[in-house]
Structure 1
Amino acid sequence: MSRLIGHSKAKYTTGTCFGSSRGRGWRGVLAEQWTHAEGELGEVLPRETEVIVMLEGRLRVRRRGDGQVQNHDAVPGTVWLCPAGIREDMIHLYGEIGRSIHLYLPAAPLAKTALEDLGVDPDRARLRYEGGFRDPVIETIGRTVAAELNDPSPMANLLVETMSAALGVYILRNYSGLSPAAHPLASAKGILDGRRLARVLAFIDAHLDREVTLEELAREACLSRFHFARSFKAATGASPHRYILQRRLERAKTLLRTGMPSLAEVALACGFSSQAHFSSSFKQANGVSPKHFRRL
């Protein structure tokens, strides 16, 4: 996958970026948190599709792109969609944005999503230039990703990769030339048959000591990332990241009972990035710390 670059100061001339997913190993999306002062922003021709959710602030926004001018009042939860390849030649903020989350999705994987997940020609799924609207699904994804930027969970990478795949399908179905009614999503039940599910579960158990990606899991099931995540939850009752966390914690219990010398070694053997992450996750799931559990 090509390196995601975002817009940085080329567009956000009045803004300050105070959080980024660069260097975190997140796949399928670049996430940045910004604060924006009042004023005129820069003109860009984006290589990536940008989805913005305002988290704090109240202001009026005027912008122009794809031959249309948009004026709207923005409140927390307001969403802007800036498709790749559509030049914005005027954006003015009449007030400050206290905090916003910017999600950059690469254009090529979005085209692949249109083909694999929706079965349509990518040219028919051209995203619309829209802004100033509310959408609870996009807002929830934005706020969840912002929370992972601020305080990463043990399964942050897999969680964010799953959400980026879902976001890509969602905006293509709801903010493009496609009609959601004409392109319904197939039921997730039954897609992941017993043989393929067993292969995926065996792969997970064989790699609990390292980070696995949604792409790897989907490849084991011969499905796209989006269809795999939906069908896995339908088959197991848990999302991929929750299931893997549960399996890691179950393995940790086994290792603690065998008397492995240190908690740091248990954490490493079960794929946790640190002993602190392991201890907090274990206590949250079991009500006692790993040290106390070993004494039981």
Structure 2
Amino acid sequence: MSHAVFRTMSGTDATLERFAWLGDGLAAAVWHRSTEEAFTEYRQPGHHTLSCYLGGGYSVEREGLPGQYGAPQRLCSLPDWHESEWVVRGQLRMLHVYFMPEHFTQRAVAELDREPRELTLQDRTYFENQRLVQLCGDLLQQPWEDADQLLRANEITHQALSELLHAQSMSRPGLRLRGGLAPLVRRRLHEYIEAHLDQNITLGMLAQLACMSEFHLARMFRISFGMPPSTWIAACRIERARGLLRAGRLPLQQVAEACGYADLSHFTHRFSAAVGAPPGRYRQLTSAAASIAL
């Protein structure tokens, strides 16, 4: 199923140059428009969109922001809850990256020490961020055809979402947090999990650390981390494996052990299911991409 902003664009005079599902529910599209004057509106699309102008756009403006126009390398962040109307004139070429709110906030605990439910994407029009522009350029240079190319594109997109989280996140308007873990307890659990990923981590261990019953801890953990403890731990193991595989040539068996997998076969199965490529192939692809970047 396509994203709402994609469907809206498809109903205009815009031409779709490229489109791909990048894995993890992420998608990207390159659009071109040439029109004397046209109007486009978005109404609470239910997903986030990052827009990067690639060419033209000098006469494109958003209703309510008179005198502000697009241009190459200018960015727009359109959150799932936003509403906007646009006046499009002349030539315009842009990259859209479509992603769900959970793609944006799942990294909030690890990178910002915030709960996922606290944050959302800002509604920003025509801002500048050279790191994001660079990552958008890297994404454009990458073919979106076979599985290996899509895996590289997926990695680039996740880097862009991390940069977006740091640069364009905001507290949810009118949010009043109820339930969940105290910040100190959440931080203690997160640090404990990260420090013991190579070991068997049980709900009982986490409950003891939080001074709660297992039942209560499971409920509060899900509220504060956005997912059950077992799912969070599994995601942390995959993320650590990604980092170790990108960082060097540690033998795969040692990577498996460092991430808490029972054996190499189990690690390969779980990693392939989560990432879309076995560990060895993932290391080859990410190492090649890093060499090209250098």
**TM-score w.r.t. structure 2 length?**
0.57
- Unaligned stretches of 5+ in structure 1? 179-190, 197-217, 249-280, 286-296
| SS of 2:169 mapped into structure 1 | coil
Equivalent residue, structure 1, for 2:256: none
Q: Which residue of 1 aligns with 2:122?
A: 128
CA contact (8 A) 2:61 2:70 kept: no
**Alignment partner, residue 134 of structure 2:** 140
| Runs of 4+ residues deviating >6 angstroms | 191-196, 218-221, 240-243
Show the counterpart of 2:43: 44
**CA–CA distance in 1 between the matches of 2:237 and 2:158?**
13
d(CA) in 1 for partners of 2:284, 2:167: 35
Structure 1 Cα separation of the partners of residues 197 and 135 of structure 2: 30
RMSD of aligned residue pairs (Cα, Å): 3.8
Question: CA–CA distance in 1 between the matches of 2:68 and 2:75?
Answer: 11
Amino acid at match of 1:27: D
1:233 is aligned to 2:246: yes
Cα shift readout 1:12-63 (whole Å, capped 9, x = no counterpart):
62312121104xx633411111112332113332111100111122413221
Say whether 1:172 aligns with 2:165.
yes
Structure 2: distance between partners of 1:10 and 1:107:
19
| Paired position in structure 1 for 2:214 | none
Q: 1:17 touches 1:33 (CA, 8 Å); kept in 2?
A: yes
2:76, 2:235 → 1: CA distance? 34
Which of residues 86, 89, 102 is equivalent to 1:91? 86
Identity of counterpart residues, as a percentage?
A: 13
Paired residue total:
205
C-alpha distance after superposition, 1:72-103 (max 9, x if no partner): 23222111110111111x11123210x21110
- Distance in 2, matches of 1:155 and 1:32, equals 18
- By how many angstroms is 1:175 displaced? 0.7
Q: What is the one-letter code of the residue matched to 1:175?
A: Q
TM-score normalized by structure 1? 0.56
Matched with 2:281 is 244
Match of 1:268 in 2: none
Q: Which amino acid aligns with 1:69?
A: L
Taking the aligned partners of 1:118 and 1:59, their CA distance within structure 2 comes to: 35
| Gap runs ≥5 in structure 2 | 172-193, 200-231, 251-274
Give the corresponding residue for 2:69.
73
Pair 1:124–1:247, CA change in 2 (3 A): closer
Quick one: distance in 2 between partners of 1:21 and 1:154?
11
Structure 1 counterpart SS, 2:121? coil
Correspondence 1:140-289 to 2 at 5 A: 140-149=134-143, 152=145, 155-177=148-170, 222-223=236-237, 225=239, 229-230=242-243, 232-236=245-249, 244=281
Distance of aligned partners of 1:139 and 1:115 in 2 relative to their CA distance in 1, 3 Å threshold: same
User: What is residue 3 of structure 2 aligned with on the other side?
Assistant: 5
Residue by residue, what CA displacement relative to the aligned partner does 1:124-152 show, whole Å, maximum 9, x if unpaired? 32221112122222112222222334x64
Mapped to 2, the partners of 1:221 and 1:235 lie a distance apart of 21
CA displacement at 1:154 relative to structure 2: 6.5
1:95-110 map, 5 Å: 95-97=90-92, 99-110=93-104
